[in-house]
Amino acid sequence: MISSMREPELEIFDWKLRDNWPLFLGESEVEDCEIENNLVEKFYNSFSHIRVYHTCRPLDPHLYLKEGLRLADYSELLSQFIVNVKKHCDIDLQNEHIKSARKEIGTFHENRVFVVLDDQNIIDQAGHYAIYGSEYIVAVAVHIQSKFGIFGKNYLKKFGTPTVYEILLEIDDISERELKELVCSVNNSIFNEETSESIDFTFELYEAIEAEKIISLYHPLKIKDPLERDLVYVHENLSVNKSKENSTIFYR
């Protein structure tokens, strides 16, 4: 168990702010995440929060600012999915379609919420979350098209808005295992002088994220689609300045 010896004034760890990275890391490369426990504890006691991001395609982006980010509830997601498909696509999905998809797909990521260290990395490498929404619902849509010849993932573009939420996550919100993996990644990036590189690093959370921890959001306008050979998807339904790559519309 990591002990807390924090000072009153603490900093936020931000992957993008390299000048604020801890100087006590990067002396040697770490293999298989075998890093000294005292370095992990020192990191823990140096930061109170970690800046992270969550990407999705909500119908009402501002709703999460009031309610926070809840854990994935597949029954609720499917209920909303059926309503949205009828309302926005004029397609009536039947109980047979949903039951077949649920049986085939299972519940691989239920009761969890995922956040990442680098928002640009997820836009460039995993943009399907912003383009289509829930990965589970994408799997449902693909299954229904494959087995029944109706619907399909491209219909998911007809509703919702690609959104990236900026979150200040308390360091105590992440597991000790993920904290250790984070410190290893930062350590090796410093050692290898890869400080300009993006990072593919995800935190898997089993607790909902309170609304107060969401400090801003923006809508990415151009997104690479990994499900369509990295073709660039452009969201056209935003009343924002198209001369900018992203539009920030909220800051807490």
pLDDT score, position 19: 83
Cβ proximity of 163 and 217 under 8 Å: yes
Query: What's residue 238's pLDDT?
Result: 54
Would strands 202-205 and 231-234 be described as parallel, antiparallel, or unpaired? unpaired
Q: What is the mean pLDDT of residues 198-202?
A: 89
Read off the pLDDT of residues 59-99 as tens digits, 9 standing for 90 and up.
999 999 999 999 999 999 999 999 999 999 999 999 999 99
What does the block give as tokens for 56? Answer: 């999705």
- CA 72 – CA 60 distance, rounded (Å): 17
Q: Which burial class, exposed, middle or buried, applies to 130 when counting CB atoms under 10 A from its CB (0-12, 13-18, 19+)?
A: buried
Supply the range of the domain harboring residue 76. 42-251
Residue 204 pLDDT more than 90?
yes
Number of domains forming the structure of the chain: 1
DSSP 210: P
In a domain, 152, yes or no: yes
Amino acid at 164: V
| Residue 6 counted as domain residue | no
Measured CA to CA, the distance from residue 156 to residue 85 in angstroms comes to 8
248 pLDDT band (50/70/90 cuts)? Answer: low
Angle of the 95-105 helix axis to the 135-148 helix axis, nearest 10: 120
Only one residue has tokens 């109170």, namely 48
Q: Would 12 be classed as within a structural domain?
A: no
The predicted-structure confidence for 214-247, as pLDDT tens digits, reads as follows: 999 999 999 999 999 999 999 876 544 333 344 4
Lowest mean pLDDT among 39-43, 106-110, 127-131, 153-157: 106-110
Within-domain flag for 155: yes
Asked, for residue 223, whether it belongs to a domain, the answer is yes
Say how far apart CA 82 and CA 54 lie, in whole Å.
Answer: 24
pLDDT of 179 above 70: yes
115-168 tens-digit pLDDT: 999 999 999 999 999 999 999 999 999 999 999 999 999 999 999 999 999 999
CB atoms within 10 A of CB 181: 18
C-alpha dist (Å) from residue 115 to 26, 65, 69, 167, 173: 25, 16, 10, 9, 12
**Left if phi > 0, otherwise alpha if psi is -120 to 50, otherwise beta: which for 86?**
alpha
State mean pLDDT over 38-49.
Answer: 95
Dist CA 179 CA 106 (whole Å): 29
Cα 219 from Cα 69, distance rounded (Å): 17
Distance, in Å, from the CA atom of 188 to the CA atom of 245, rounded to the nearest integer, reads 31
How many Cα atoms occupy the beta-carbon half-sphere of 185 within 13 Å? Answer: 15
Q: 7 lies in a domain?
A: no
Give a yes or no: residue 83 inside a domain.
yes
pLDDT at 250: 56
Cα Rg of the chain (Å, integer): 20
Looking at the domain assignment, is residue 21 inside a domain? no
Confidence tier at 4 by pLDDT (50, 70, 90): very low
